[in-house]
Structure 1
Amino acid sequence: MTALHTPELFARLEPAERVLVAGAGGGFDICAGLPLALSLLHQGKEVHLANLTFSAIEGLPLDAWLAPDVAVVTAGTAPHQTYFPERTLARWLDLHGYPGTVHAFARVGVQPLRAAYRAVIEAYDIDAVVLVDGGTDILMRGDESGLGTPEEDLTSVAALAGIGGPDRLVVSVGFGVDAYHGVSHGLVLENIAALERDGAYLGAFSIPRASKEGALFVDAVAHAQHHTPDRPSIVNGSIAAAVRGDFGDVRFTERTRNSELFVNPLMSLCFAFELEGLARRCLYLDRIEDTHLMRQVSSAIELFREEVVTRPPVRIPH
Structure 2
Amino acid sequence: MTALHANPLFSRLESARRVLVTGAGGGFDIYAGLPIALSLLHQGKEVRLANLTFSAIEGLPLDSWLVPDVAVVTPESSPHQTYFPERTLAQWLKMHGYPSTVHALARVGVQPLRAAYRALIEHHEIDAVILVDGGTDILMRGDESGLGTPEEDLTSVAALAGIDDLPGLTERLVVSIGFGVDAYHGVSHGLVLENIAALDRDGAYLGAFSVPRASKEGALFLDAVAHAQHRTPDRPSIVNGSIAAAVQGSFGDVQFTERTRGSELFINPLMSLCFAFELKGLAARCLYLDRIEHTHLIRQVSSAIEEFRDEVVRQRPPRGYPH
- Other-structure match for 1:302: 306
Q: Deviations over 1:6-58 (max 9, x none)?
A: 11000001110000000000000000000000000000000000000000000
1:141-290 aligned within 5 A: 141-164=141-164, 165=166, 166=169, 167-290=171-294
Q: Which amino acid aligns with 1:99?
A: P
What TM-score results when the alignment is normalised by the length of structure 2?
0.98
Q: How does 1:43-122 map to 2 (within 5 A)?
A: 43-122=43-122
Q: 1:167-212: CA deviations, max 9, x gaps?
A: 1000000001100111000000000000000000000000001000
CA distance in 1, matches of 2:322, 2:211: 25
The 1-side partners of 2:195 and 2:132 are apart by 17
* Secondary structure of residue in 2 paired with 1:132: strand
Structure 1 window deviating more from structure 2 (280-289 vs 165-174): it is: 165-174
Deviation at residue 152 of structure 1 after TM alignment? 0.1
CA apart distance, 1:317: 1.8
Q: Distance in 1 between matches of 2:178 and 2:5?
A: 23
Report the CA distance between 1:78 and its aligned residue. Answer: 0.1
Counterpart residue identity of residue 316, structure 2: R
Helix, strand or coil for the counterpart of 2:20?
strand
Measured in 1, the distance between the counterparts of 2:309 and 2:256 equals 34
SS of 2:21's equivalent in the other structure is strand
Aligned to 2:31: 31
| Contiguous gaps of at least 5 residues in structure 1 | none
Q: Distance in 1 between matches of 2:117 and 2:47?
A: 15
Could you list the runs of 4 or more consecutive aligned residues of structure 1 that deviate by over 4 angstroms after TM superposition?
none
Deviation at 1:218, TM superposition (A): 0.3
One-letter amino acid of the counterpart of residue 38, structure 1? L
- Within the candidate set 312, 316, 322, 1:317 is matched to 322
Q: Deviations along 1:71-104, whole A, 9 cap, x unmatched?
A: 0000000001000000000000000000001000
Within 2, Cα distance between the matches of 1:74 and 1:271? 30
| Code of the aligned partner of 2:51 | N
Amino acid at match of 2:73: V
Q: What is the alpha-carbon distance in structure 2 between the residues aligned to residue 85 and residue 285 of structure 1?
A: 28
**In structure 2, how many angstroms separate the alpha carbons of the residues matched to 1:150 and 1:242?**
24
RMSD in angstroms over aligned alpha carbons? 0.5
Secondary structure class of the residue paired with 1:114: helix
Match of 1:13 in 2: 13
**CA separation in 1, counterparts of 2:267 and 2:38?**
24
Partner amino acid for 1:260? Answer: E
In 1, Cα distance between equivalents of 2:3 and 2:248: 28
Q: How many residue pairs were aligned?
A: 318
1:122-151 deviation digits (Å, cap 9, x = unpaired): 000000000000000000000001000000
2: distance between equivalents of 1:125 and 1:5? 31
Q: Percent identity?
A: 84
